[in-house]
Amino acid sequence: MFNFFNKKKEDPIREHLGGFQDNFTKEQKAAILGSLVILAKSDGQVHPKEMQNIEQTGRLLGIELDDPVFARVASGGKNEITRILNTLDRSQKEWYIITLHSMVAADGKVEEIEISYALGFAEDIGISEDEYVQIIQKAELLMKKFMG
């Protein structure tokens, strides 16, 4: 009779972000996570805070590491991940660069190899080192402005 008792509750992350996840294809989400995993492994070990960052990004995007699409994309290696990342539009690429950069510092120390991998992913998707720095600086300024 009345369906409001049977209403399915929306995922709180999805509700809060207003469909942000929907702006990415499943393959793009998997490629983003795959690149974060590669970056986390670049210094020879995955720090627990890096793993936490990967899992949080997965929740934000609405994809898990055990998703079959992630497994398929990851099995294609860096070339497949890069090919898919190149389908991101400009604003998605900027968000990706900020996410990638947050992974570099996730464990509390910035390793040269991690910076190298991050800049390599950026270059592979058409973002120069100067653009990378500008994107990060812009994000930091916004954070200062809105977070105090």
Chain segment 80-118, per-residue pLDDT in tens = 999 999 999 999 999 999 999 999 988 888 889 999 999
123 vs 19, which has greater pLDDT?
123
pLDDT score, position 8: 47
All structural domains of the chain? 22-147 (1.10.3680.10)
Nearest in space to 64 (alpha carbons), one of 16, 109, 15, 13:
13
State the pLDDT confidence band at 1, using cuts at 50, 70 and 90: very low
Average pLDDT on 4-20 reads 51
110 vs 32, which has greater pLDDT?
32
CB 59 within 8 A of CB 131: no
pLDDT score, position 19: 65
Record the pTM. 0.84
